Structure 1
Amino acid sequence: MKKIIILFLCSIAFSSCKTTKTSFAKGADVGWLPQMEATGYKFYDKDGTEKKCLQLLKDRGINSVRLRVWVNPNDDKASGHCGKEETVAMALRAQKMGMRVMIDFHYSDSWADPAKQFKPKAWEKHSFPELLNDVYTHTFEVISALKNAGVTPEWVQIGNEIPGGMLWPDGSTDNWKQLGQLLNKGYDAVKKVDKNIKVIVHVDEGNNNAKFRTFFDNATAQKVKYDIIGLSYYPFWIKKDYTETIADLEFNLKDMVKRYNKDVMIVEVGGEDDKVQNTYELLKATIKAVKNVPNNRGLGVIYWEPQGAKSWSGYSLSAWQADGKPSLALDAFKEN
């Protein structure tokens, strides 16, 4: 009987570990956090008690962090930092809190997004073969540094919001053949470090099915290698309330799985910090849409810089209040 009980308890323990590892990701991109702390910003719980930011996020159901990486960033508090060493340090902190880690490569010295995909200054005059090597080497070095420090990211993004490509002009979608090669170099570098890390390709406007079909049809034609389709979802930037687009988001999530046989994940979402109830409802609806993807192929939802209070960053889509306390909007993660 004792042997049976021990086997039963071991089975439960294994099952719990497995469930935790594959559980729905509720995340926060916290790239600004080291700078916020360095400039003296203080974080408080709703009762006024000063607490560490990651603990406040964890208390609200956050179980994952997303960290951006820039190649040779400057020291500006809002558009710098996020180099290799700072990323490794943040990843270690998050892991010690029991959080899962996503790394987001921008392949730039600062912000890369649909409007700008500038090469790092050190790569500006490189030929295309040299750029392929740059992407591979940079990716391999950062992921290796993380692994050597004891952190193996669960997910890695090759590029940030790249509907028009990356490393312009060489990797523009005007030249899909070259973009495909660049993406595959990033993929190969990640898998060289650890084949179990899941690679994400990320496009904005998650409710725009036509944009996603165009991009990923081209990616398929170029035999781009990836594991997960990452989506941004910001109703604010398309000047529509989430109620007008949430059905389109859910349709697109399901269509991506069906059309390309890939898992999907909202890697960026955000609502207006001064519309707490609306942002709460947005998050609740977004989590539901992802969970509605059949066969658990909707992997999670990540809020972009929830702690990045407007008083510090000037960014109005955080989920933090002027008094240094988390917005009640974040309770959507804990409750769903």
Structure 2
Amino acid sequence: MPSALSRRGFLAGAGGIALSTLVPAQAFAAAKPSTALATGPSTASAAKPPAALGIRGADLSFLPQLEEAGVKYTDPAGHVRPAEEILARQGANFMRMRVWVDPPAGYSDKARALALARRAKRAGLKILLDPHYSDFWADPGKQYPPASWPTDLASLKVKIKTYTRSLVREFAAQGTPVDIIQIGNEITNGLLWPAGQLYLPDGTQQWEAFTDLLKAGTEGALEGCGGHRPRTMLHIDKGGLMGDTRWFFDNVSAHGVPFDIIGQSYYPMWHGSIADLEANLNDSVSRYGKPVLLAEVSYPWTFEDGDGRGNIVGPGTYLPDADRFPATPAGQAAFYEAVRDVLAQVPDGKGLGFMVWEPEWIPGVGWEPGAEASNDNLTQFDFTGHALPSLRAYRRP
């Protein structure tokens, strides 16, 4: 998605509306929708029983900062616990964490990611590592190299390889080996601009330069892994957009980039309906023979704003399946049930699973220093940290 719709780049909000009604922990069980009512039939459901989802997790990169700000989380039974433990007790088995090279103080640098990985291991969670290859947010609208890195293509190929190799080695050395690594974050428009920028302003497409960087990063990941080989993933933001997905992966495949997993961001307000998602995932598996993972997914449980400073999703946001999944706690839970059903019906068991994006990012920490929590109505905890019914989506198959 272009930077105009980047979830981290724009701050257009829903306005300063304070929450009037929160969902208490004791209402968790009562608010759970039935799977049959929530999801409706999948187009593949009559063919064979659904496959089990091997990956059920979340990106919790903001968690240390939120805890430092005094935020606490309450599980469905009303007990205060660390967020990763709450998710693990609900059935989660993966944690995703981003890494920036030299971000603002307190944000997701390597040291923070390593510490978060140790927490993931204690909770019994495997690790999906998300290096942005940037000092701060990288997405389709911006992919700027770290200030300390070179800018020419030849040097960047060496740097991305050695950096990724060192990163994977450090995770392994502390006993938290990486299970999945994505080579860049939402790389729909390339990475390490301008050398690896895929679509230039004059219309030029730099597929060879871009894919050379992907190959170098992949080589580094595999060289640094030791005896625990991570699966590699290419991550774009086209969850329900089949034409865009084909264009990207057709070209990447034609240039011989090795990868194990097709990673997608899926935010229905930008990427289409549940039916669009199902069609695209099934097409990708058939077309490329690779499994698919929703590397990022989220959905609103309200249109209200927890910090009164603006959200990226608000009352005017179009939700393609709003009749099935209204912006309520029960509607959000129903949405995740539908996502589970779509993934479970992907042919040959190649729907690996999902990673909810920052379900713990309630008010307390801004997307940059001094800014707002612009996703605080897309979480799986209410504005005061109480568990929402959608946590049931992490349950084991």
TM range, smaller chain: 0.7 to 0.9
Shift of 1:222: 1.1
SS of 2:212 mapped into structure 1: helix
Shift of 1:50: 1.8
SS of 1:308 mapped into structure 2: coil
Q: Distance in 2 between matches of 1:148 and 1:103?
A: 15
Partner of 1:38: 68
Question: Does residue 301 of structure 2 align to residue 276 of structure 1?
Answer: no
Q: Distance in 1 between matches of 2:289 and 2:77?
A: 46
SS of 2:124 mapped into structure 1: coil
Match of 2:123 among 94, 97, 103: 97
* Off by >6 Å, runs of 4+ in structure 1: none
> Structure 2 regions of 5+ residues with no counterpart?
1-51, 199-204, 303-327, 366-372
Number of equivalent positions: 305
Shift of 1:23: 6.0
Q: Distance in 2 between matches of 1:113 and 1:145?
A: 25
Partner of 1:24: 54
Q: Distance in 2 between matches of 1:284 and 1:106?
A: 30
Give the partner amino acid of 2:301: D
Q: Distance in 2 between matches of 1:314 and 1:206?
A: 21
Partner of 1:85: 111
Match of 1:52 among 49, 73, 82: 82
Shift of 1:319: 1.6
Shift of 1:335: 7.3
Q: Distance in 2 between matches of 1:26 and 1:48?
A: 23
Partner of 1:136: 161
Q: Is the 8 A contact 1:281 1:332 kept in 2?
A: no
SS of 1:122 mapped into structure 2: coil
Match of 1:191 among 217, 222, 230: 222
Q: Distance in 1 between matches of 2:393 and 2:129?
A: 24
Partner of 2:101: 71
Q: Is the 8 A contact 1:273 1:320 kept in 2?
A: no
SS of 2:143 mapped into structure 1: coil
Q: Distance in 2 between matches of 1:310 and 1:163?
A: 30
Give the partner amino acid of 1:291: A
Alignment of 1:201-212 (within 5 A): 201-212=234-245
Q: Is the 8 A contact 2:188 2:248 kept in 1?
A: yes
Partner of 1:296: 349
Q: Distance in 2 between matches of 1:154 and 1:201?
A: 14
Partner of 1:314: 374
Partner of 2:208: 177
Partner of 2:152: 127
Q: Is the 8 A contact 1:311 1:322 kept in 2?
A: no
TM-score scaled by length of structure 1: 0.86
SS of 1:114 mapped into structure 2: coil
Q: Is the 8 A contact 1:102 1:155 kept in 2?
A: yes
SS of 1:161 mapped into structure 2: coil
Identity of aligned residues (%): 34
1:201-254 per-residue CA deviation (whole Å, 9 max, x = no partner) reads 00102100001100011101211111100011101335x6xxxx1122111111
Q: Is the 8 A contact 2:151 2:195 kept in 1?
A: no
Q: Is the 8 A contact 1:163 1:215 kept in 2?
A: yes
Give the partner amino acid of 1:188: E
Shift of 1:273: 3.1
Q: Is the 8 A contact 1:236 1:272 kept in 2?
A: no
Partner of 1:18: none
Asked which structure has the greater RCO (Cα within 8 Å, sep 6+), the reply is 2
> Structure 1 regions of 5+ residues with no counterpart?
1-21
Question: Does residue 356 of structure 2 align to residue 330 of structure 1?
Answer: no
Shift of 1:333: 2.4
SS of 2:206 mapped into structure 1: helix
Shift of 1:265: 0.6
Give the partner amino acid of 1:296: G
SS of 2:118 mapped into structure 1: helix
Q: Is the 8 A contact 2:362 2:384 kept in 1?
A: no
Partner of 2:275: 247
Q: Distance in 2 between matches of 1:211 and 1:333?
A: 29
1:115-162 per-residue CA deviation (whole Å, 9 max, x = no partner) reads 111111112x53211111111111111110000001111100001111
Q: Is the 8 A contact 1:271 1:278 kept in 2?
A: no
Q: Distance in 2 between matches of 1:155 and 1:227?
A: 9
RMSD (Å), alpha carbons: 1.7
Shift of 1:60: 2.0
Shift of 1:48: 3.7
Q: Distance in 1 between matches of 2:66 and 2:296?
A: 20
Partner of 1:266: 294
Q: Distance in 2 between matches of 1:197 and 1:127?
A: 28
Shift of 1:47: 4.5
